[in-house]
Amino acid sequence: MSRKLPPITALRAFEAAARTGSFKAAADELNVSQSAVSHQMKHLEDHFGVLLFHRRARSVELTAAGQVFYPHLQTAFESIEEGARRLRHNARTDELTIQTYSTIAVRWLMPRIHSFQSKYPKLVLRLVTAQTDPDFSDEAIDLALVIGQPISTRLMYTYLFTPTMFPVYSTQLVQKPANPADLARSTILQVYPSQGDWTHWLTAHDIDDVDPDSGLRFDSYDHALRMAARGHGVALAMQPYVDDDLATGVLKPAFPGMEVEAHGSWYLACLAGHSDSRYVRAFTRWLIEEVENDISLAPRRRVQA
């Protein structure tokens, strides 16, 4: 069955003009002249035999007919974009892109990931670091190592472990805290993307005379721990960020035995429709084995229902 549709260029111009409310903005977006967009709109209106836009001095406004047509066209373009994303993803048969936070990437994943790469030497493996979780909207990310709780119905989550948190300091620190109350006179090293962590630890131990919002602020645990190692304050540590520093004596627990579980657990996340991908399955198996073989993380794994 033949489809009597107007040219795709006219439909693209209409969608852009309707979304932006301007022929000029649509022209800029499509990298054409404003007169070209105006001509395409006239062609489209002639095709349907209805007026689609009210022309204003500096803007355009959809007519009643345009308002009826626009949602259908918007949905169509979104469907095309989704199909294109899926096609691009399916074409990447020998690539795997993993996103996680910079601290766990530098301090735990990167020293180990060569063992996975050695099993799949033809695989192009990309590691992306960021301080926020990916939204998977463009499907450029295959997997994400995240901490928190499963919240998205679009994603499949594989549980890894539930970490604990505890304050640490360096022997270079001039005023070493002998008890939690001493933290009121110490420089607290904050990680502002995880600003509730200090409050969580203090509340768990009924410590209310320490300001959890005081001290210095950093955008990652790695920076806070490095500053603590230089004797600039007390940082909150979380496995597996601090294992090497504890083993070498660079850092030490401020109050041994006063660990608390973190708010969330670590998960490996991927789009639900991609969980059967060969390399996604392979990386998931490998990562679980690495966690189970890590003597500090294995005890933190819970039995999942």
pLDDT higher than 80, residue 64: yes
Of 74, 90, 106, which residue sits at a domain end? 90
3-state secondary structure 41-69: HHHHHHHHCCCCEEECCCCEEECHHHHHH
> pLDDT: is 135 or 99 the higher one?
99
One domain, residues 269 and 280: yes
Mean pLDDT, range 136-143, rounded to an integer = 80
pTM: 0.69
157 and 269, same domain (yes or no)? yes
1, part of any domain: no
Q: What is the mean pLDDT of residues 220-225?
A: 94
DSSP 250: S
Q: At what angle do helices 8-20 and 64-91 cross, to 10 degrees?
A: 110
Q: Are residues 272 and 150 in the same domain?
A: yes
Q: What is the pLDDT of residue 248?
A: 94
Lowest mean pLDDT among 49-58, 128-137, 157-166, 259-268: 128-137
Residues 168, 249, single domain; the answer is: yes
pLDDT value at residue 57? 83
- The Cβ of residue 173 has, within 10 Å, a number of other Cβ atoms equal to 20
Q: What is the pLDDT of residue 246?
A: 93
Is 2 part of a structural domain of the chain? Answer: no
Least confident of 56-65, 84-93, 276-285: 84-93
The predicted pLDDT at position 88 comes to: 60
CA distance 271 to 154: 6
As a dihedral over the C-alpha atoms of residue 120, residue 126, residue 131, residue 132, rounded to 10 degrees, the angle is -90
Q: For the chain, what is the domain count?
A: 3
Question: What pLDDT score was predicted for residue 86?
Answer: 62
User: How much of the chain exceeds pLDDT 70, in percent?
Assistant: 93
Res. 201: pLDDT tops 70: yes
Question: Which domain, by its residues, includes 218?
Answer: 164-261
Mean pLDDT, to the nearest integer, of 134-160? 88
Same domain, 13 and 58: yes
pLDDT at 190: 92
Q: Which helix (H) or strand (E) holds 160?
A: strand 155-161
| pLDDT at 90 exceeding the cut of 60 | no
Question: What distance in Å separates the CA atoms of residue 196 and residue 199, rounded to the nearest whole number?
Answer: 5
**C-alpha angle 144-150-155 in degrees, rounded to nearest 5:** 55
Q: Looking at the domain assignment, is residue 225 inside a domain?
A: yes
Is the residue at 215 inside a domain? Answer: yes
Of the three residues 90, 115, 145, the one that is the final residue of a domain is 90
Cα–Cα dist 22/17, whole Å: 5
Residues 174 and 39 in one domain: no
| 294 falls within a domain | yes
In this structure, the answer to whether residues 24 and 111 fall within a common structural domain is no
- Output helix, strand, coil percentages for the chain, rounded to the nearest 5: 45, 20, 35
What CATH number corresponds to the domain at position 124?
A: 3.40.190.10
pLDDT at 212: 86
Q: What is the pLDDT of residue 250?
A: 95
Mean pLDDT calculated for residue range 137-162 = 89
pLDDT at res. 305: 47
Co-location of 57 and 183 in the same domain: no
Average pLDDT over residues 264-280: 90
Do residues 273 and 255 share a domain? no
Could you tell me if residue 173 is inside a domain? yes
For strands 216-218 and 234-238, give the pairing. unpaired
Measured in degrees and rounded to the nearest 5, phi and psi for residue 61 equal -135, 135
| Mean pLDDT rounded to a whole number for the chain | 89
Which CATH number does the domain housing residue 27 bear? 1.10.10.10
Residues 6+ apart with CB under 8 A from 21: 59, 60, 61
Q: Is the pLDDT of residue 192 over 60?
A: yes
Domain-terminating residue out of 43, 70, 90 = 90
pLDDT tens, 230-243?
A: 999 999 999 899 99
Confidence of residue 1 (pLDDT cuts 50, 70, 90): very low
Q: Which pLDDT tens digit goes with each residue over 95-112? A: 899 999 999 999 999 999
Q: Is residue 24 part of a domain?
A: yes
Residue 3 domain-assigned (yes or no): no
Structure tokens at 169: 């300091």
What's the CA gap between 227 and 118, in Å, rounded?
34
- With CA atoms as reference, report the closest residue to 265 among 297, 234, 235: 297
Same domain, 206 and 284: no
Q: Please tell me whether residues 129 and 255 are part of one structural domain.
A: no
Shared domain for 182 and 296, answered yes or no, is no
